[in-house]
């Protein structure tokens, strides 16, 4: 077969070629439709671009959010040196999961440390099982942690100097559906039956 | 008559001395407890209610605890889902009023305990007030999901 030479174009049926301005217009319209559909898809699905950020659980396993697809996830951002909000929140969450009965097995709780400097994997392994042996401590180093926090809308700020600093942080719980999309966020205590309804939706 | 007078005097002396021995405390501390810390945690929180029974405003100047390396008083506030925690000095305890330290709110922070504080332990704590002076309280360590 003969390769099309430089004269291939003039030999094509020019009468059926669309004018350049129309091609441009079509391209412009298609780009708009594409952008719009992506926007609609995103707003419908909620953000799920967290999937590929590497992290380690308190057993030392390397994973990503993608590894939790197929189950519900409740994520909380805190730190083990927190005297009040974190032990309170995790204790309340334990009670909330007990109320779920056997549905609790469908939920994986992730405690994502906002203090990767002090919260080593070993430290998280000591801390989390106190609340529930199935809770997982997650360590994400910076700058990926900041990226994850931004995706969730979580803020965390160090306060104080030296090794005994504290961290102001968002105290919401984040519910991620089995497709990996952020479904909602909440604080505890919730009215009875709320979490069960979320999981049924 | 003499007998009655004598017994009245004795009674008066007794009640009088009782009053001197136990003056109405201007400040009272109720319901104090320390949250048992999970293994590896280095900061614990103590919760309590401080009641000022006097007609004069008072201020909590200091909280101390021999078991902890550092003891400080913290006030928390919520700001759009974010919990902010700040050390506070000279916390006002209003006259005929009370200030509650409770989970998710104010707390006394005990840092780097010198021994593990498990549920059931009793921890002596001292609170110093501007007017009422020093108050010693023995605070139990408890495991509570609140």
Is the pLDDT at B125 greater than 90? The verdict is yes
Strands B68-79, B82-87: pairing is antiparallel
Residue A10 has pLDDT above 50, yes or no: no
Q: Which two tokens stand for residue B121?
A: 């332990």
For residues A110 and A114, what is the distance between their CA atoms, to the nearest angstrom?
12
- pLDDT, position A114: 98
- Count of H-run helices and E-run strands, chain A: 6, 9
Q: What is the mean pLDDT of residues B126-136?
A: 97
Phi, psi of A133 (to 5 degrees): -65, -15
- Report yes or no: A63 at the B interface, CB cutoff 8 Å: no
Chain A contact for B43 (CB, 8 A cutoff):
yes
Mean pLDDT of A10-18: 53
CB contact under 8 A, A83 and B109: yes
B74 to chain A, any CB pair closer than 8 A? The answer is yes
Q: State whether residue B76 sits within 8 Å of chain A by CB.
A: yes
Q: B85 and A81 in contact by Cβ < 8 A? A: no
Q: What is the pLDDT of residue A41?
A: 44
**What integer is the mean pLDDT of B116-126?**
96
ipTM of predicted assembly, 2 dp: 0.80
How close A140 comes to chain B (CA, Å)?
19
* Per-residue pLDDT tens digits for B63-106: 999 999 999 999 988 888 899 999 999 999 999 999 999 999 99
Asked if the C-beta of B46 comes within 8 angstroms of chain A's C-beta atoms, the answer is no
Nearest CA in chain A to B44: A83
**Beta carbons of B145 and A85 less than 8 Å apart:** no
For residue B51, what are its two tokens? Answer: 């009641």
pTM to 2 decimals? 0.79
Q: Give me Rg for the CA atoms of chain A.
A: 25
Peptide bond into A27 cis (omega under 30): no
For the four alpha carbons of A108, A71, A47 and A92, in that order, the dihedral sign comes to negative
What digits encode the pLDDT tens for the residues A101-141? 999 999 999 999 999 999 999 999 999 999 999 999 999 99
The rounded percent of chain B whose pLDDT value lies above 70 is: 84
Q: Which among A81, A130, A170 has the least Cβ separation from residue B42?
A: A81
Q: A49 to chain B nearest CA, in Å? A: 23
Min mean pLDDT across A9-23, A129-143, A150-164, B32-46 is at: A9-23
């Amino acid at each position: 077969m003969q390769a099309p030479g430089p004269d291939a174009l003039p030999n094509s049926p020019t009468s059926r070629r669309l004018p350049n301005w129309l091609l441009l217009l079509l391209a412009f319209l298609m780009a708009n439709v594409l952008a719009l559909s992506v926007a609609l898809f995103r707003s419908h699905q909620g953000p799920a671009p967290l999937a590929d950020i590497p992290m380690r659980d308190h057993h030392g396993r390397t994973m990503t959010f993608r590894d939790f697809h197929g189950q519900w996830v409740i994520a909380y951002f805190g730190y083990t040196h927190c005297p009040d909000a974190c032990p309170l929140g995790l204790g309340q969450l334990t009670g909330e999961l007990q109320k779920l009965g056997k549905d609790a097995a469908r939920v994986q709780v992730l405690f994502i440390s906002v203090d990767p400097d002090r919260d080593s994997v070993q430290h998280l392994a000591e801390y989390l099982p106190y609340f529930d042996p199935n809770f997982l401590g997650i360590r994400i180093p910076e700058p990926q942690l900041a990226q994850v926090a931004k995706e969730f809308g979580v803020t965390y700020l160090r306060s104080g100097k030296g090794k005994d600093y504290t961290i102001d942080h968002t105290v919401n719980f984040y519910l991620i559906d089995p497709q990996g999309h952020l479904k909602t966020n909440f604080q505890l205590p919730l009215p009875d039956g709320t979490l069960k309804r979320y999981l049924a939706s | 008559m003499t007998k009655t007078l004598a017994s009245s005097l004795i009674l008066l002396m007794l009640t009088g001395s009782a009053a001197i021995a136990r003056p109405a405390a201007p400040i009272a501390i109720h319901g104090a407890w320390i949250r048992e810390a999970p293994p590896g945690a280095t900061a614990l929180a103590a919760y309590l209610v401080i009641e000022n029974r006097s007609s004069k405003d008072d201020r909590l100047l200091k909280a101390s605890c021999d078991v902890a390396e550092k003891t400080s008083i913290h006030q928390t506030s919520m700001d759009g889902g974010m919990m902010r925690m700040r050390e506070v000095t000279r916390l006002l305890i209003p006259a005929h009023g009370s200030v509650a330290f409770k989970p998710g709110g104010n707390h006394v922070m005990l840092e780097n305990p010198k021994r593990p504080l498990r549920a059931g332990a009793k921890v002596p704590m001292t609170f110093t007030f501007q007017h009422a002076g020093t108050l010693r309280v023995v605070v139990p360590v408890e495991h509570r999901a609140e």
